[in-house]
Chains A and B, each alone.
Chain A
Amino acid sequence: MSTETVKVCTANFGKGASDISVYKQLGGYSCVSSKLFDLSQFEIIDIVQRSGLRGRGGAGFPTGLKWSFVPRNTDKPVYIVVNADEGEPGTFKDHFLMKEDPHRLIEGLTIAAWALGSRTAYIYVRGEFLSCIETLNKAISEAYQAGMLGENIGGTGFSFDIFVHRGAGAYICGEETALINSLEGKKGQPRLKPPFPAVSGAWNSPTCVNNVETLMAIPWILENGPEAYAALGTLQAGGTKVFCISGDVKKPGVYEAPLGVPLMELLNSPQYAGGIEGKLKGVIPGGSSCPILTAEECEKATMDYESMASLKTMFGSGAVMVINETRDMVPLLKSLGNFYAHESCGQCTPCRDGAGYVQRILQSIHKGEGHEGDLELILSLSEQFDGTTICPLAPSLGMASTAFIQKYRSEFESYIQKNKDKKASRISSTFRPGAFW
């Protein structure tokens, strides 16, 4: 592993690249020229496929493959939607990426638009990122003035518009079909699939939803070639990843590292997080939905899709949350329970009522009012979230709480133990639904 990491998305950090002249000086917009428009659409898609780029939003779907699903020759317009509804707890990379380097996103979008035959793109930014939206709007206006956007870009006959859409506070809008609903001015509730958005998405038109980081890697890939990008990562997935490291480390923040970097290097190396504060207890490797890793598991983990899968967790959005020995796991899981219950869109029964139910049980355990058997109850409910809902929100809660309880069971039990004596002296007023019948 080379000591100097190649920077793909974060190369322009701290250089004031949100100004178009600076960005151009740094070599930006070199792709949006004859080079891009001489490439055919299928060649770009082929390049992206060969680069091994996978979606950076969390699911890790190969980007080139996703693009190839968008139908050709439709009567309907093709939309590109940028998913900047960054809400996964622990994730904050897109915030910085858009703020520091908005033009790279615009450039990546333009390439994607050319590849997909799209005329209009929307950047869906979560409502809390107002300063990001201001930066983006300014950058887009600059790009219009510089002729990088608008009608007939560079005399090629290609026209392209970008609009920014401000969300209003709903984590579930990070799910692509929910995001499309939100864009259409509806409640952000995920849709049943099929049809997939690539076939019928926003306003029933083919729609491609990509994460900010994914699109920001595209200009580099076009510039340096797919092989160079693929060589940065592992065999199965190419490139670098922007990691968001938070929690008990010396330097929490955004760091770009090649895929396959060992987790401990990411935490301890001075060029990344710079060391753990205190003794390591566990790491949530990819955002709150991913099952937690214990300290022993962290030792052998490398940050790529396969290693994470072998440890029965997920690579996710690259949000590494570090927890040290002094932290109590019960309030942490409780706050996760709160989060999922609060962010459930209210559509599917298991999620709507089940997440709220798990939340209440976790709250009661945290308050010291837990019952014996509550942990088994949560585990068995978590099982029932899996595969029974439209989107993976409830299963995420299931996976997260299962991992927490299985790996740190004694802590939860000690909370319940507090309540045990109290409960023994109390006359049980148990009434089960259905006792009457």
Chain B
Amino acid sequence: MNKIQGAVHYVANNRLQFEKGPSPFDPQKSAADQVGHKYKKQEQPSLEEILPKLETPAIKQRLDDLLSRYPEPQGALLEVLWLIQEALGWVPREAIRYAAGICECSPVHAFSVATFYTMYKHAPTGRFLLQFCRNICCEQKGASNIIAYTEKSLGIQTGETTPDGLFTIVQVECLGACANAPVMLVNDDYATDVQDSKLSMLPGTSLNEERVDKILNWCRERAKNLKEEPTRDALGGPILGHKGHPGAPGATAKVQSKNYAPPSPVLGVQAALIDGGVQVSWKCAPDFTHLLLEKKEGSIWKQVAEPPVRTTEIIDPSGEKGSVYRMIATSGERVAKPSLEVEAK
């Protein structure tokens, strides 16, 4: 049934155009779809081939660190996929399944996440991934010309890799550097120029044909001098000193305790002498569930009253000049530190 003929042709949809060829309005591909080889099957490595790269002590340590940051392992899914992309250069299928195993979610969930976000690459890219912004600010400043120029000078189309494996061009949406429009990312670095033999994005500089050439030459030069692109931490380096989310499975810190953040102490406590005792007043926080008024007798504190939580004053009939008071607030099961001590005057 290669060609549907006759009546069926007309009723079988305006879009199922068996004889008309491709639609004139093929939308621009998303960044993730651009990378890779349209109509070519991407060879997927087997688990055995990628495991040696993933099961290194360094990655294992970082995985433990990541998993300790979230109350559920699935929270680390995006980060784990980043680690995989750092180690392999892209996210092959079996690696996605591996990530799902670490994050305790179903493989197809991990797959849907890996395809939802456009920065995960589903095919190997060139050594320098040139991501050109094509959004409104850059478009206004001539991004399409710059992209066309780069495509022409490298002899490839968007989404393709040069034969020497150096460059891959993709078009992405706003990169968040509109003051320098048009801009590009070379791997993870913003680039509008090369300065001191480094990629740079100084205020006021934007891409033009000359600078694109400069950047491309910088890349070629770097490829000559450095055999391999040094790996860069996909998660921006470690955070030292944290002990993990208290509720995380296998967290190094203690389990989540209810008093990790005590409520504020009672504030603004004042004691004033009036007829018939001492009037103690204070400011009440909405989160207090219980209040205690204590009086100092000798060196020990003795409870004198439990004022209702919504009130802001109470009279202690036994109070006299010189009595010292303090208040303690409770919020749920969390007890605040005592308020400042005040003396009745």
Contact = CB atoms under 8 A, between A and B. Distances in A.
A144 B119 contact: no
B287 A185 contact: no
B11 A42 contact: no
Contact of A436 (B11, B74, B180, B245): B11
B174 A88 contact: yes
Contacts of A371: none
Interface residues of A, number: 104
A335 B234 CA distance: 29
Contact of B137 (A89, A94, A343): A89
B64 interface: no
A119 B82 contact: no
Given A72-B287, A144-B242, A166 B79 contact: yes
B119 A168 contact: yes
Interface in B1-17: 10-11, 13-14
B287 to A, nearest CB: 3
Interface string B267-280: 10000000000000
Looking at B74, B173, B232, the one whose CB has the most chain A CB atoms below 10 A away is B173
A149 B337 CA distance: 20
A89 B285 contact: no
B188 A41 contact: no
B157 to A, nearest CB: 17
Contacts of A253: 179, 203-204
Interface stretch (B20-28, B51-59, B211-219, B295-303): B20-28
Nearest to B237: A137
B243 A168 contact: no
B255 to A, nearest CB: 12
A345 B263 CA distance: 40
A354 to B, nearest CB: 13
Interface stretch (A21-29, A225-233, A319-327): A319-327
Nearest to B31: A169
B75 A185 contact: yes
Contacts, number: 276
A247 B143 CA distance: 12
A394 to B, nearest CB: 16
B27 A339 contact: no
B178 A244 contact: yes
A35 B270 CA distance: 20
Contact of A167 (B78, B103, B188): B78
A221 B154 CA distance: 52
B242 A331 contact: no
Contacts of A92: 176-179
Contact of A244 (B140, B179, B204): B179
B176 A186 contact: no
B116 A170 contact: yes
B289 interface: yes
Interface stretch (A3-11, A123-131, A297-305, A412-420): A123-131
A77 B117 contact: no
Nearest to B12: A436
Given A119-B260, A130-B188, A360-B25, A168 B117 contact: yes
B135 interface: yes
A87 interface: yes
A168 B82 contact: yes
A282 to B, nearest CB: 11
Interface string A166-204: 111111000000000011111110000000000000010
Contact of A158 (B120, B253, B262, B285): B262
A55 to B, nearest CB: 18
A337 to B, nearest CB: 9
B286 A363 contact: no
A63 B307 CA distance: 32
Nearest to A43: B267
B188 A186 contact: no
B242 A131 contact: no
A433 interface: yes
A252 B27 contact: no
A127 B70 CA distance: 19
Nearest to A134: B236
B264 interface: yes
B256 interface: yes
A136 interface: yes
Interface string A328-347: 00011001101101110100
Contacts of A127: 82, 117, 119
Contact of A166 (B78, B179, B245): B78
A421 interface: no
B173 A171 contact: yes
Interface in A145-160: 145, 149-151, 157-160
Interface string B72-87: 1011111101100000
24 contacts: A77-B256, A89-B136, A89-B178, A117-B287, A119-B246, A126-B176, A127-B119, A134-B233, A150-B242, A166-B234, A167-B78, A168-B118, A169-B119, A185-B77, A185-B78, A185-B105, A203-B71, A245-B179, A288-B174, A323-B140, A327-B140, A339-B174, A369-B24, A431-B14
- List the 4 closest A-B pairs by CB distance, nearest first: A144-B241, A40-B264, A133-B236, A185-B77
Interface of B: 10-11, 13-14, 24-25, 27-28, 30-32, 69-72, 74-79, 81-82, 103, 105, 109, 112-113, 116-120, 134-137, 139-141, 144, 172-181, 185, 188-190, 203-204, 232-247, 253, 256, 258-265, 267, 283, 285-287, 289, 331-332, 337
